[in-house]
Amino acid sequence: MDKHMREYKKLKEDYPKEILLYQVGIFYKVMFEDAKRTADVTGLKLLVSGEASGPVPVCGFPLSGLDKYVGKMLRNGFAVAICPQTKDSDGRIRREISEVLTLSCST
């Protein structure tokens, strides 16, 4: 399991019911069970990443598709946690949940 997968799993501990959108570069990635649900609802292609002994389902889309895919998820009853990447003052990339969206409201 690579560092992004480990970080994704750690973030999911605090947001177990939400679909977690995890920014990597100019894409948002969705992994594990979230990827399966997201692919079913959005029509995104479900891929497999990781080692052959422990394959991980993944899907994703470019940053420009955020509104489109979040809208599809919300209209299908899912809550969405958005995790953008930012750079700190030392130039290190950091990720944390910036907002959680539901059909009725956002926080």
Asked whether residue 107 carries a pLDDT value surpassing 60, the answer given is no
Give per-residue pLDDT as tens, 40-57. 999 999 999 878 788 999
pTM of the model: 0.90
Q: For 1-107, where are the E strands, in sequence order?
A: 19-24, 27-31, 47-49, 56-62, 80-83, 85-87, 93-95, 99-101
pLDDT of residue 105: 58
How do strand 56-62 and strand 80-83 relate by DSSP bridges? Answer: unpaired
Show the CA angle centred on residue 28, arms to residues 79 and 15, nearest 5°.
35
